[in-house]
Amino acid sequence: MKPEIEPFLNVARSVTGRAWIDRLDPAAVRMAAAIGQQTELSEILARIVASRGITVESAQSFIAPTLRDLMPDPATLADMEKLAERLADAIDAGEKIALFGDYDVDGASSVALMLRYLRAFGLSPLVHIPDRIFEGYGPNDAAMENLVAHGARLIITLDCGTTSHGPIAHAKARDADVLVVDHHLAADHLPPADALVNPNRPDDISGLGYLCAAGVTFMVLVATNRILRHRGRADLPDLMAFLDLVALATVCDVVPLTGLNRAFVTRGLEVLRQGANPGLRSLAIAARVNGPVGCYHLGYLLGPRINAGGRIGDAGLGARLLSSDDEHEALTIAARLDELNAERQRIEVEAVEQAFATAEMEIGDGEGPPVLVTASPEWHQGIVGLVAARLRERFDRPAFAIALGRDGSGTGSGRSMPRVDLGAAVIAAVDAGIIRKGGGHAMAAGITVDAGQLGPFRSFMNEMLAEDVVAARKRNEIKIDAALTARGATTDFVHDVERAGPFGAGNANPVFAFPSHQIRFPEVVGAGGHVRFSANSGDGARLKAIAFRAAGTPLGEALLKAKDGQGLHLCGTLNIDHYQGRETVQLRVIDAAIPGASG
């Protein structure tokens, strides 16, 4: 019988109902000791590296990932050689090319990548980004017809197209070639494109299914450059200069920061910090970014502003910003995206409040359904993904939010939890005729429902995912990397920990436990209901701390009700704030426990 794991700091049940456990099992503890002995890594850094399944032999390459070591031959992707040859032919012939992209950060980045590449050869491609409300996701007949009518002989879909059988067939019937560059889940039957590069198509054995569309697009450009070089062309663009866009999309599309993605983001952040892209530079100014740009800034400051254009404004603003070399145009677009993001936040707050109330009624006093499916005619289609994410976060289960039309049809988004494949369930719902349209990834999906399909869809998802959700929620735990004190949380310590980054999906930001730290001066700040306070250790050291969106939650109540100087076990991640040239450490609290009462 497998021995029961001893809770970290004896926290078997925190204020949020979770157990704290050591991220390292006994084998990883031994590996951490070996890494510490045989490398120059500190003890804490060795623990973090070992907990990611890294060995002594690969520790140094994990700390310093490079494209040279991690970039595979692009030809390992199915259809890559065929697609790259066709693209190279179009470049050599100076053909009129059209780009059809998605309206999110990944789509905008992919379009900007391809635009910058083709412009380097003197080409001026047509660009179409669909309107989320009036056109929906992916290619449509009218848009394809319009691109052909404007002279496009080659249409490249980016971050979309894998399930667009009809529109691609329409373009083909109008004598246009179609190339698909995508990463979304694919069914067995592929559309009639001239070439389709997608590491998630059923017959692809590249093992690169974790790439976002911009990562796949970069691979396409590498393959195309190689073909053009073999043909004797010397005017090839420096692809390394485009990696800032790949890093942006990789972080914002929440794909795993493992393997090649680690090299993309590590190198991409270096390129981004050089400020060569006017659009990204202008957006950082509009977002009031302080200090060197990191993954947090990409995911929480830059990305949401680019997405705001596709959610509630002009869907093409993101691609225009990221592909612009005009400083004035970039500043103007960045300012507009900042305004749209503020408006998006206001709309989101109202929708989230309504969704929470609906979910609480559905759950009642019991466990409630394993999957939440909420809908409202009052919600804007552009923010349903954000509402679903907040539902998932608050109620600890997969959730859908659907914006309904007057006729009862709707467009929605879903967000999942680890070990629950939402994208596969949605595709199964489409195949079964439960809903009209849908697709996505394991952690996120988009759907279109007709009138009368909402009830059957809710029943289908709950029946199909019930066992997976129950199993996932039983493993309701927080993995702790190490224990620390406020005095030990120095800027030097955080910089050392950051060597194991970039952190994000697939490479979680290290979580540190702070035993029995006093809670001083807790207060609610910001429109999002954040709880800010000072965490003091017994030796008098103080650490700035904040629990995001905690007001009204068990965590927030525990922090706000803590008697002056009461000690709580805290756990969270550490980051460095940059203000007026000074660096200070902040703890982002994700949980708390009462010492002695949690075992």
Does 366 score more than 70 pLDDT?
yes
* pLDDT, position 597: 66
Cis status, amide bond into 199, omega within 30 of 0 = no
* pLDDT, position 278: 97
pLDDT digits (tens, 9 = 90+) for 275-325: 999 999 999 999 999 889 999 999 999 999 999 998 888 999 999 999 999
pLDDT digits (tens, 9 = 90+) for 157-189: 999 999 999 999 999 999 999 999 999 988 889
- Burial class for 189, CB neighbours closer than 10 Å (0-12, 13-18, 19+): exposed
Structure tokens at 551: 């007001």
* pLDDT, position 301: 95
- Name the phi and psi angles at 157, rounded to 5: -95, 135
- Name the phi and psi angles at 419, rounded to 5: 75, 15
- Structural domains in the chain, sorted by start: 1-22+481-599 (2.40.50.140), 24-62 (no CATH), 70-339 (3.90.1640.30), 367-475 (3.10.310.30)
- In this structure, are residues 208 and 236 in contact, taking their beta carbons and an 8 Å threshold? no
* pLDDT, position 369: 95
d(CA 164, CA 457): 22
Which of 296, 252, 247, 305 minimizes the C-alpha distance to 272?
A: 247
As a whole number, mean pLDDT of residues 228-246 equals 97
What is the pTM (predicted TM-score) of this model? Answer: 0.90
Q: Count Cβ atoms below 10 Å from residue 135 Cβ, excluding itself.
A: 16
Does 112 score more than 50 pLDDT?
yes
- In this structure, are residues 228 and 207 in contact, taking their beta carbons and an 8 Å threshold? no
d(CA 100, CA 138): 8
Does 3 score more than 70 pLDDT?
no
DSSP 111-151: HHHHHHHHHTTT---EEE---TTTT-SS--HHHHHHHHHTT
- Name the phi and psi angles at 440, rounded to 5: 150, -150
**Amino acid identity, residue 143?**
A
The percent helix, strand, coil of the chain (3-state, each to 5) is 45, 20, 35
